[in-house]
Structure formats: C-alpha cells, structure tokens
Amino acid sequence: MNRIRLTSKVSVILLALLGAGTLLASGGRTWVTGTVDDPVLGASRVTGTGSQVASGVVALALVAAAAALASTTSGPVVRRITVVVLALAAAGEAWVAARVAFSPQEALGREAARSLGRTGTLETHASATSWPWVALAACVLLLLAAVGGWFGARGWRGLGARYEAPGATAGARGQRVASDWDRLDAGEDPTDRDQPGAG
C-alpha cells in the first residue's frame, strides 16, 4: 500500500483545507473572556469572538484555502506563487492568533472600547480560551501544506491535456498534426478514423 507523502497534492490540499476550515470555524467562537471596570459599563463581563478580537482571521483563512486550491490546478509558475501566498496567509494568521493568546487583556480592551463607540482600549482583566491556541495549531497545518507544496509542486500534474487550450501537435517527423480540438472546430468527428487527419 502506497503511503501518502507530505509533498503530494492530496496531502497539501487536505492539510490546507483542514487548517483553513478550523480557522473559519474559530471565527465565531469565544477567544477571550474577562471583566472591565468602566464608569459607563460599570463592572461587567465582556467576551470577544475570534472575528472580533482577531481581525482578519476569517479573511486570511479564505485566502489560504483559495491559494491551496489554486496551487493544485495551475501551471508550475503560478503554483509556486500560490504556495507562497499560502505561507504568507499562514504567517499572518499565526501573528493574529499569537497576539490574542499572549495579550488577551489588550485584545479584549480594544473590543470593549469598540462596543462603547470609543477608540483605543479599556483596562480589562482577561484570559484567553483554548481557541487562539487551536488557531495557532491550524496555522501549523497551513505552514506544513505550504512547505509540502513548495517541495512537491514540481512533480504535480495539472488538470490534464483534455482541459488545456487547443493547439497544434507535432507528428513523428515534426509535421503539424491537427489535434482533436482542431478537428472538432472544423466540424469533424475525431473518433471517426475514416476522415482525413485521423491518426
């Protein structure tokens, strides 16, 4: 039984979609909980979801998923570019999640101020839930997908010749031979071997 390698197209797309899907799901979950003591709010409990305290978490997850899918269907040059985009999206996600995980007071303070229509931040007593750490783990999956894609993309096949743009093909002696696409455009049936140009 063949093992699936990290650099295979299947591994890359599965890792990327799993990571991006986890990040998308985390956007609606509570990342930070705490209390704020404010003259207007009084002493009250405040929470912040991923999309509230980690701005861009959903957008970057969508970018990562789109880049991973594009890398599996594009040519060699575009494939490399999309893998780099995937890595950059993963790094951006990691930065956003790490800021919340290591500075929950600042993240919740900004959200509390925003909910009051203020700028800046409010002093809070806050703690991070497990979701920022789950998001960081998802970022690791995205980075693994990007690394696997970078080293494995050269050996990947595209969508296949049947999806490529029609063009001339060369015969055994270099002469121009009409492709099946050319014959279809000319109104011929490429499956009919009795017609001119049939191989």
Domain ranges for the chain, please list them: 9-159, 166-199
* Contact criterion met (CB below 8 Å) for 94 and 141: no
* Contact criterion met (CB below 8 Å) for 9 and 145: no
CATH number of 9-159: 1.20.140
Residue 123 to residue 135: CA distance in whole angstroms: 25
pTM (two decimals) = 0.71
CA nearest neighbour of 16 among 64, 56, 53: 64
**Coil vs helix vs strand at 43:** strand
Tens digits of residue pLDDT in 95-149: 999 999 998 888 888 888 887 777 777 778 889 999 999 999 999 999 999 998 8
Q: What angle do CA 104, 124, 90 make, to 5 degrees?
A: 20
